[in-house]
């Protein structure tokens, strides 16, 4: 392959990757924004334009949910860190998460959860596929 075609193919690949990511959306279906809920809180997530898979699935078009629980999001071009309190990788491809004594109990009061879909590198899709809800636990 000559160099010029190689460069064009590479650019084409980058554009294709960006195109699928641009169609991806994320939504926190439940709890509803500003809802008052009881513990244990069950979070239900939805995504469109991206296949939610385990983080071990290393291919374009896939990603997994990340939850920032009462935690600000990390820098836009950075990968989402692991082992940080308040940042959860749903790396098995989960689309539901229950906050209970086996995970994290949400104390009574106001909470904010931000869902961010990222690829197998744990890099947020570009543009971001993310959603935020604020709710109150009784
Ligand atoms: Cu991750």
Give the three-class secondary structure for 108. coil
* Nearest-5° Cα angle at 73, 82 to 101: 55
How many Å lie between the centroid of ligand 1 and the Cα of residue 119?
A: 7
Burial of residue 45 (number of CB atoms within 10 Å: 0-12, 13-18, 19+): buried
* pLDDT digit string, tens, across residues 88-124: 999 999 999 999 999 999 999 999 999 999 999 999 9
- Amino acid 6: pLDDT: 47
How many Å lie between the centroid of ligand 1 and the Cα of residue 24?
A: 16
Tokens read off for 64: 């997994």
- pTM across the whole model: 0.86
Secondary structure (H, E, C), 18-38: HHHHHCCEEEEEECCCCCEEC
Residues within 5 A (CB) of ion ligand 1: 89, 122
Residues of the chain with pLDDT under 50: 1-2, 6-8, 11
- Amino acid 16: pLDDT: 55
How many Å lie between the centroid of ligand 1 and the Cα of residue 80?
A: 6
Q: Please tell me the distance from the alpha carbon of residue 48 to that of residue 2, in angstroms, as a whole number.
A: 38
Domains and CATH numbers, the chain: 3-137 (2.60.40.10)
How many Å lie between the centroid of ligand 1 and the Cα of residue 32?
A: 24
| Percentage of residues in the chain having pLDDT higher than 70 | 85
How many Å lie between the centroid of ligand 1 and the Cα of residue 2?
A: 37
The 10 Å Cβ neighbour count of residue 69 is 18
């Amino acid at each position: 392959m000559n160099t010029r075609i190689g460069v064009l193919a590479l650019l084409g690949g980058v554009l294709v990757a960006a195109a699928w990511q641009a169609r991806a959306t994320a939504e926190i279906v439940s709890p509803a924004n500003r809802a008052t809920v009881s513990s244990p809180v069950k979070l239900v997530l939805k995504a469109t334009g991206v296949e939610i898979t385990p983080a071990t699935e290393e291919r374009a078009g896939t990603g997994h949910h990340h939850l920032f629980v009462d935690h600000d999001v990390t820098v836009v071009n950075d990968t989402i860190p692991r082992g940080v309190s308040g940042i959860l990788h749903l790396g098995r491809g989960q689309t539901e998460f229950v906050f209970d004594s086996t995970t994290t109990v949400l104390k009574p009061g106001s909470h904010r959860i931000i869902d961010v879909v990222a690829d197998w590198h744990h890099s947020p899709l570009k543009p971001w596929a993310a959603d935020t809800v604020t709710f109150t636990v009784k």
